[in-house]
Chains A and B, each alone.
Chain A
Amino acid sequence: SYELTQPPSVSVSPGQTARITCSGDSLPVQFAYWYQQKPGQAPVLVISKDSGTSSGIPGRFSGSKSGTTATLTISGVQPEDEADYYCQSADNSGTYPVVFGGGTKLTVL
């Protein structure tokens, strides 16, 4: 199977920068996408195609990728950014067209 690996949790104070990583062997050739999910709500797309901020998402959210690691960066974290974040991609063989990372709980201290 193909896996995307995320840290289970990240904690930051308000105003600081949060970075959430996602590692996967196919990421050099496949786009990474990021979703934010708040309790009791459906996920919301925040970053598409590695680094494109989705419509309506604040500019403090950005994405990047280097080799086998994609990173979601939240600059100047706000209390309302506390949520679970999931990366999503695909393997390069087509066997696993959609795979989600395990999710990262962002806590704003």
Chain B
Amino acid sequence: QVQLQESGPGLVKPSETLSLTCTVSGALITSDYWSWIRQPPGKGLEWIGNIFDSWNTNYNLSLKSRVTMSIDTSKNQFSLRLSSVVVADTAVYYCARGPYDFCSAGSCYFDYWGQGTPVTVSS
């Protein structure tokens, strides 16, 4: 059974960098695409980006200038860094798996999700 677990600070100050890590169990992180998705309070889902390996990343155009994703195969983890955060970045952040065959062909979807971690941007 594939399981994902997000971890990281729940409070970040404006202009600082949000950093989250997703630990994957039950699957090799080298086998599929891995995404971050967020949901502001009371709003819908927004895809942030995905990573396959250190050379293959895709980011939402609206966030691309502030997003960096990385992967640590030794720990079966992948991470998100979102710089220069503002109040509007307050959200529940989910990590999720995208099957390789579909994500590599441009039709990504998400079959396993973490439980989500709330992040508040506030001074």
Contacts and interface: CB of A to CB of B under 8 A. Distances in A.
Interface residues of A, number: 26
Interface of B: 35, 44-47, 50, 58, 60-62, 94, 102-103, 106-111, 113-116
Contacts of B46: 100
Contacts of B102: 31
A88 B109 contact: yes
Nearest to A47: B109
Interface centre among A44, A86, A98 (most CB of B within 10 A): A98
B109 A33 contact: yes
B106 A94 contact: yes
A95 B44 contact: no
A90 B106 contact: yes
Contacts of A103: 44-45
Nearest to B35: A98
A97 B44 contact: no
A109 interface: no
| Interface residues of A, dominant DSSP | loop
Contacts of B62: 1
Contacts of A35: 45, 110
A43 B45 contact: yes
Nearest to B95: A42
Interface of A: 1, 30-31, 33, 35, 41-45, 48, 54, 86, 88-90, 94-103
A46 to B, nearest CB: 11
A94 B102 CA distance: 13
Given A54-B111, A88-B45, A97-B108, 6 more contacts: A33-B109, A42-B114, A43-B45, A44-B113, A97-B50, A98-B47
